[in-house]
Amino acid sequence: MNHLPYIAAAYGLTLAVAVGFSLAAWIRMTRARRRLDAVDPRARAATSPRVAG
Amino acid sequence: MDATAIAPNPSRSLHRFANPGRFLRLSGRFLAPLAWTGAILTVIGLGWGLFFSPADWQQGDAVRIMYVHVPTAWLASAGYMGLAVCAVFSLVWRHPLADLAAAEIGPVGAGVTALCLATGSLWGKPTWGAWWVWDARLTSMLVLFFLYLGQIALVRAFDDPERGHRAGAILALVGVIDLPIIKFSVDWWNTLHQASTITLTSAPSMYVGMLWPLLISALGFSLGFAAIVTARLRAAVMERRLRGLLMARAQAGA
């Protein structure tokens, strides 16, 4: 029995779900930060890591 | 010397780390390293499993599906355990981030569980000759998927978000009973699904050339899961802050 289609489908599905969730999370995070910046630029400091110095 | 002056109050210290502003600053620092480490380990683990690990003497190359199926199965259970921990923090300590974290873990956990069921089905067809059997392990994993869906629906089912989070937390706690059933189903019942080859109490019964890529991909998947949930949680905290600011402005303008 040729197993290649099953292996390709399993890995392809995993890749699609991982990329989908990652992209969706990144887009949502970027959009939220941009909207927060637009409403209150001071909030930017509170959402970013503190810079030493 | 007054002992209470130096003894930390547990609930206060918990809330110190739950401060949304502090969470945003801390997570902003570790999110990128977490995501990149997860991605690199996943590529190494899956590449090793797909191209360099040996085929199984019985299953042939179909065993390579294990490198995506097993990590998703572990993560499905671990993610639900994360939901239950958030539920305890929410119901007992009213932890400010626990409700938001649970709301963000739910969809990712459901996605991972669906992936586990789908890759298991793709592994089952060439090895068992069936896409699905009503086996105790498969059925208990399907129940876990429905528990995730129930939690997602409950959290979003009420006009008052507080009530939704509370209902979701109660379901998350009740559903924990499914985790030992999933774990021990292969021991308690005579199942078509194979018994555990990796346990905490005994040496793995798996060839080391298969074990290493499996462990590396599992670690990569876990870090990736944590990175996705952290990114979603950062977005949720910022969205909540935005709603608060807009509401305050609307009230000031009225």
The tens digit of pLDDT for each residue in B16-73 reads: 556 778 888 888 899 999 999 999 999 999 999 999 998 888 888 899 999 999 999 9
From the candidates B30, B68, B108, which should be mutated to test the interface with A, based on the most A CB atoms within 10 A? B68
Q: How distant is the Cα of A2 from the closest Cα of chain B, in angstroms?
A: 9
pLDDT digits (tens, 9 = 90+) for A1-51: 688 999 999 999 999 999 999 999 999 999 999 998 888 777 665 666 554
Q: What pLDDT is attached to residue B14?
A: 55
pLDDT at A52: 41
For residue B190, give both structure tokens: 């005579």
* Structural domain spans, chain B: 30-192+207-253
Both tokens assigned to B219: 């670690």
Residues of B within 8 A of A25 (CB-CB) are: 228, 231-232, 235
Mutate to test the interface with B, among A1, A2, A4, A6 (most CBs of B within 10 A): A6
CB contact under 8 A, B245 and A40: yes
* Nearest residue in chain A measured CA to CA from B51: A7
Torsions phi, psi of B168, nearest 5?
Answer: -65, -40
Contact A43 B123 (CB under 8 A): no
Asked if the Cβ–Cβ distance from A47 to B234 is below 8 Å, we say yes
Distances (CA, A) of B142 to A10, A50, B79, B120: 18, 44, 15, 11
Contact A10 B119 (CB under 8 A): yes
A10 touches chain B (CB under 8 A): yes
Search chain A and give the residue with CA nearest B69: A10
Q: Nearest Cβ partner of A6 from B42, B62, B246? A: B62
Q: Which residue of B has its CA nearest to A48?
A: B25
- pLDDT (tens digit, 0 to 9) for every residue of chain B, 254 residues total? 444 444 445 455 556 556 778 888 888 899 999 999 999 999 999 999 999 998 888 888 899 999 999 999 999 999 999 999 999 999 998 887 899 999 999 999 999 999 999 999 999 999 989 999 999 999 999 999 999 999 999 999 998 888 999 999 999 999 999 999 999 988 888 877 877 776 666 766 778 888 999 999 999 999 999 999 999 999 999 998 888 888 888 888 76
Q: In chain A, which residue's Cα lies nearest the Cα of B29?
A: A49
| Residue B231 in contact with partner chain A when CB distance is under 8 A | yes
Contact A46 B21 (CB under 8 A): yes
Q: What is the pTM of this model?
A: 0.88
